[in-house]
A and B are shown apart, each in its own frame.
Chain A
């Protein structure tokens, strides 16, 4: 098994059943895993902000930075490896917030909302979700099985189902 690390504003896809895609320290950022069980193709995206309208140039350079450019990019890259949209299993984690979250800081909720809106518009179901709260999450997907895992300091590692 080899761990492939996904950084912040980054994504990785794989069709190698020995790979585990993993991203550390999701705060307000959101992690999205997608998986096609038939061809065993999966991907993990770690986006940081909701909308690419903030900086179109940056979004062009690195689509993985924003929800609205990163998620379509993640899907497209998996299609290139033979994955099909109708077979995709989608799981999400992250989007945490600081306490008594003021308007200004609502990046966590905004990230989650932007992501859900996009999935809803495209008729994609989220099959596993662990979002919100104030905890630090590590998120991973095993390409061999498509299992996704969330790790937190207080709950240890748990499969996201």
Chain B
């Protein structure tokens, strides 16, 4: 039984930014051009402002101030512009995120860390980046923005269940509150009409082994990237590390411990450079 309050909260979530949605569809076409992206984005003021901010940040170290979206797009390059659009579109949902004992913007930092890690893992395993996966990863814990206050209220009971019965935080959320943050995130994604692969990756981000679709390797990558950030303490909340470890992920991706640790080091470097993106929230 899910409380009415939670279901009502989902209904109050604003629509996913149309520009970010269009860019997602655009990049599915392998022949998309970077000016197409600029054309879509320029009608969204919030996203445009954020992109200009990223462009003019110390990281890019440009000598001249960038003031138009077309300049920004040329300067950032294909990969950066798509990431920036998605981050700018998604970040607004995390602005008021609280709960899980986290300070403001920590859940966003976690999301960016997981998103960066999915790209590093995807490059190592599949020799390519995956912009759609990047967006999915940015949103994997979106359910937490609503669950936050409920989890904080019920934390003693949830924690008690975790330590007494040795179940995961996810299962304890479901027992005490009636739904877990992954399923809740899935409901939000459906409300936004996300494609099934993305919605599934959000729903199953702690339990990809329960997913019916065995070809959805993106969900496994989000899972693995999330575990890495949890272990490294990036945006780690009161739920701690109380999530299920699935050793089959190693076999699935033929990863060695060394690969995993190297990817973690790369992710922390990228995260250091992504300070402007993290500062958007």
A residues bordering B, Cβ < 8 Å? 8-9, 24-29, 48-49, 54-55, 58, 65, 96-105, 107-108, 134-136, 152-154
The CA of A154 and the CA of B172, in the complex, are separated in Å by 15
Within 8 A of A (CB), among B177-235: 227, 230-235
Q: Report whether B250 and A104 are in contact in the complex, using a CB–CB cutoff of 8 Å.
A: yes
Q: Report whether B265 and A55 are in contact in the complex, using a CB–CB cutoff of 8 Å.
A: yes
Q: Report whether A135 and B240 are in contact in the complex, using a CB–CB cutoff of 8 Å.
A: yes
Q: Report whether B238 and A153 are in contact in the complex, using a CB–CB cutoff of 8 Å.
A: yes
Please name all residues of chain A whose beta carbon is closer than 8 Å to the beta carbon of B240 when the two chains form the complex: 27, 96, 134-136, 152-153
Contact for B257 among A9, A97, A104, A136, CB less than 8 A: A104
Q: Report whether A27 and B233 are in contact in the complex, using a CB–CB cutoff of 8 Å.
A: yes
The yes or no answer to B168 lying at the interface (CB within 8 A) is: yes
The yes or no answer to B3 lying at the interface (CB within 8 A) is: no
Which residue on A lies nearest to B155, using beta carbons? A153
Instruction: State how many angstroms separate the Cβ of A9 from the closest Cβ of chain B.
Output: 7
Please name all residues of chain A whose beta carbon is closer than 8 Å to the beta carbon of B279 when the two chains form the complex: none
In the assembled complex, 22 residue pairs joining A and B whose CB atoms fall closer than 8 Å, in A order, are A24-B233, A27-B236, A27-B240, A28-B231, A48-B268, A49-B265, A96-B240, A102-B246, A103-B257, A104-B249, A105-B245, A108-B231, A134-B162, A134-B240, A134-B242, A135-B240, A136-B238, A152-B240, A153-B101, A153-B237, A154-B159, A154-B238
Please name all residues of chain B whose beta carbon is closer than 8 Å to the beta carbon of A135 when the two chains form the complex: 240-242
Q: Which of A65, A97, A98, A101 has the most CB of B within 10 A?
A: A98
The yes or no answer to B244 lying at the interface (CB within 8 A) is: yes
Q: Report whether B233 and A8 are in contact in the complex, using a CB–CB cutoff of 8 Å.
A: yes
The yes or no answer to B150 lying at the interface (CB within 8 A) is: no
Interface contacts beyond A25-B233, A28-B233: sample of 4 additional A-B pairs, CB < 8 Å, sorted by A: A8-B232, A100-B244, A103-B247, A135-B241
Please name all residues of chain A whose beta carbon is closer than 8 Å to the beta carbon of B235 when the two chains form the complex: 25
B residues bordering A, Cβ < 8 Å? 101, 155-156, 159, 162-163, 166, 168, 227, 230-247, 249-250, 255, 257-258, 260-262, 264-265, 268
Q: Report whether B244 and A98 are in contact in the complex, using a CB–CB cutoff of 8 Å.
A: yes
Which residue on B lies nearest to A96, using beta carbons? B241
Instruction: State how many angstroms separate the Cβ of B230 from the closest Cβ of chain A.
Output: 6
Please name all residues of chain A whose beta carbon is closer than 8 Å to the beta carbon of B264 when the two chains form the complex: 48-49
The CA of A96 and the CA of B238, in the complex, are separated in Å by 13
The CA of A99 and the CA of B239, in the complex, are separated in Å by 12
Please name all residues of chain A whose beta carbon is closer than 8 Å to the beta carbon of B239 when the two chains form the complex: 136
Which residue on B lies nearest to A50, using beta carbons? B261
Contact for B241 among A102, A136, A153, CB less than 8 A: A136
Q: Which of A28, A102, A135, A136 has the most CB of B within 10 A?
A: A136
The CA of A154 and the CA of B247, in the complex, are separated in Å by 28
Instruction: State how many angstroms separate the Cβ of B125 from the closest Cβ of chain A.
Output: 14
Instruction: State how many angstroms separate the Cβ of B117 from the closest Cβ of chain A.
Output: 14
Instruction: State how many angstroms separate the Cβ of B178 from the closest Cβ of chain A.
Output: 21
Instruction: State how many angstroms separate the Cβ of B225 from the closest Cβ of chain A.
Output: 13
Q: Report whether A25 and B234 are in contact in the complex, using a CB–CB cutoff of 8 Å.
A: yes
The CA of A136 and the CA of B246, in the complex, are separated in Å by 20
Please name all residues of chain A whose beta carbon is closer than 8 Å to the beta carbon of B250 when the two chains form the complex: 102-104
Q: Report whether B247 and A27 are in contact in the complex, using a CB–CB cutoff of 8 Å.
A: no
Instruction: State how many angstroms separate the Cβ of A22 from the closest Cβ of chain B.
Output: 13
Please name all residues of chain B whose beta carbon is closer than 8 Å to the beta carbon of A27 when the two chains form the complex: 230-233, 236, 240-241
Please name all residues of chain B whose beta carbon is closer than 8 Å to the beta carbon of A102 when the two chains form the complex: 245-247, 250
Q: Report whether B255 and A104 are in contact in the complex, using a CB–CB cutoff of 8 Å.
A: yes
Q: Report whether A134 and B233 are in contact in the complex, using a CB–CB cutoff of 8 Å.
A: no
Q: Which 9 A-B pairs have the closest CB atoms?
A: A102-B247, A153-B238, A25-B233, A27-B233, A28-B231, A136-B240, A134-B241, A104-B250, A25-B236
Q: Report whether B241 and A26 are in contact in the complex, using a CB–CB cutoff of 8 Å.
A: no
The CA of A8 and the CA of B257, in the complex, are separated in Å by 20
The CA of A134 and the CA of B163, in the complex, are separated in Å by 9
Q: Report whether B238 and A8 are in contact in the complex, using a CB–CB cutoff of 8 Å.
A: no
The CA of A99 and the CA of B168, in the complex, are separated in Å by 7
Please name all residues of chain B whose beta carbon is closer than 8 Å to the beta carbon of A103 when the two chains form the complex: 247, 250, 257
